[in-house]
Amino acid sequence: MNILDKITQHKRGEVISRMHQKSIQELQESETYFRECNSMKEAIRNGSGIIAEFKRQSPSKGIINSEAKPEIVASEYTNAGVSGVSVLTDEAFFGGKDQDLLAIKEVVATPVLRKDFVIDSYQIHEAKALGADVILLIARILNPDQTKEFTEIAHGLGLEVLLETHSEQEIEKHYFDSIDLIGINNRDLDTFQVDIENSIRLAQSLPKESIKIAESGLGNPETVIRMKENGFDGFLMGEAFMKHTHPGKACKKFIEQLKPVSHEN
């Protein structure tokens, strides 16, 4: 059993527990449930394309930054010029908390992605109640019918969808025109090996007008520049910034190094 299988298995029990603690009706009574969402798709089209992540730890890297405060980091990311903020809310494997997302939405208008492992429609209502603008759907842990169903539910709530893929087969089975953002993970979740060439090849099979997001293994500006040149619009980055004492400063420096490319485009 690989790490994604372990996370998914744990998540099933977690979701059942959460449903018993708070019903969908109770989620819908939340003040944030009716807040209008901000478009990450438009922010990426009109900005740096960087989606900077708040992440305390990961199964592969262990503790990355246990001291950082979500609202401070998100504010610094926004001031640095990001197109979006991603926040991991999975607690068991990533040390995330729902409160992190709520805290971030209190201080920034930047579109926020709730990065979690969605296996049940309940989690989409939960994301809306927490103030998210975008949800992540991982093709690897869903069947195509679930991808479509969850996308329709998300859109009905005003949320955008980032679909994460890693293979040609996943793209063929799960991608359709209503997907807002199509992510290609450079990291193989079985081996944790990063392969930029695989992602560049896969991007060529997607419609030109699709908003393509590169994920993982984007530690230096040169890699992002190369991905831009090969059709990618957005770049989801976490560890590259969070490993620094001041993630926001690292993010600002990184984006500044991309500006000459932005001017050429």
Catalytic residue among 65, 212, 216, 239: 216
Catalytic residue among 53, 76, 126, 239: 53
Catalytic residue among 41, 55, 128, 252: 55
164 is catalytic: yes
Q: Where are the alpha helices (DSSP H) in 35-177?
A: 40-45, 70-80, 98-107, 122-130, 144-156, 168-174
Catalytic residue among 115, 128, 212, 228: 115
Burial class (CB in 10 A: 0-12, 13-18, 19+), 172: exposed
172 is catalytic: no
Which of 58, 49, 51 shows the shortest CA–CA distance to 77? 51
Which of 161, 141, 149 shows the shortest CA–CA distance to 122? 149
Catalytic residue among 14, 126, 170, 215: 215
Catalytic residue among 14, 126, 160, 164: 164
Angle at 134 between CA 175 and CA 230, to 5 degrees: 50
How far, in Å, CA of 72 to CA of 119, rounded? 30
Q: What is the CA radius of gyration of the chain?
A: 17
115 is catalytic: yes
Amino acid at 208: K
Catalytic residue among 185, 186, 212, 239: 185
67 is catalytic: no
167 is catalytic: no
How far, in Å, CA of 40 to CA of 162, rounded? 10
Q: Which residues are catalytic?
A: 53, 55, 115, 164, 185, 215-216
